Amino acid sequence: MIQNKIVVRFQDGRILKGQTGDFLPTKPAFHLTPVEAAPDAKPIEVRIAEVKAIFFVKDFAGNRERKKVQEFPAGKPVVGRKIRVLFQDGETLVGTTQGYDPTRPGFFVIPADPASNNDRCFVVTCATRQVSFV
């Protein structure tokens, strides 16, 4: 089974890093094996209703000193619709989407910054304050 490296940000501010092999955008829950878990540890269940966003990352370390870019590179074509997401906690995410529907539990966003540590992000709709096309 393919394991995705993810960082889960919860609506209450908690953060979990680990791997999942059973996340589906249409399911109410998935399982995560935390990075620091013992090799024989059982995965924990994560309920989508508690999540703000799931970041599918290149690596877990990231780069805290790197300045976050919220703009599209000049002259580079984009795939999908440009979107700006304002979360309930005030954080903003800018990128592209091919499947935003406010009636669905969530949607994927590809970050505008091609150098981002995030390959893609699953945004939980109820954790957003405003979603707009740019």
Mean pLDDT along residues 89-103: 94
- Rounded to two decimals, what is the model's pTM? 0.92
pLDDT tens readout for residues 39-83: 888 999 999 999 999 999 998 887 677 777 778 888 888 889 999
pLDDT tens readout for residues 102-118: 999 999 999 998 888 99
Report the SS3 class of residue 127: helix
Number of other CB atoms surrounding residue 35 within 10 Å: 12
What is the C-alpha to C-alpha distance for residues 118 and 6, in angstroms, rounded to an integer? 9
% residues pLDDT > 90 (the chain): 73
Q: Mean pLDDT for the chain?
A: 92
